[in-house]
Amino acid sequence: MDDYIRRYFMLLNIPNKYQSFIIDIIERADKKYLHINNESRGSTKCIGAIYMLCSRIPELYYITRDIISRECKISKTSFIKYYAMLYANGMLLKKIFRKHKIPMPIEWKDERKK
């Protein structure tokens, strides 16, 4: 997984300080068995988590689905499915967002802790 992360961060020009966030998100999703309904390859998980990061950090907003798909040579459908699975299970990921001081979606903040 580390090799994918380093490679995609370099291709997309993402600061290395966010690598541990991506690792933690994927590990948490795997630990909570979120992948059962959406089995994904390591590269897809990595890019889906990167897309989640890019959608939350203003300095990375310029990294769009199209840029990710083109630069990382992956179909949008693949990584968007993993991203959507992460997003739908946001209550299980809140701890990771807080730990890394990444802004989380407002919908996640409004719901009670589960």
Which pLDDT tens digit goes with each residue over 11-57? 999 999 999 999 999 999 888 877 655 567 888 899 999 999 999 99
pLDDT in tens, 77-106: 989 999 998 999 888 899 999 999 999 988
**Tokens describing residue 63:** 């990294």
- Asked if residue 46 lies in contact with residue 1, where contact means CB atoms within 8 angstroms, the answer is yes
Specify the pTM.
0.88
Proportion of the chain above pLDDT 70, given as a percent: 90
Instruction: List Cα–Cα distances, 39 to 35, 62, 64, 94, in angstroms.
Output: 5, 28, 23, 22
Domains annotated on the chain, with CATH: 2-110 (1.10.472.10)
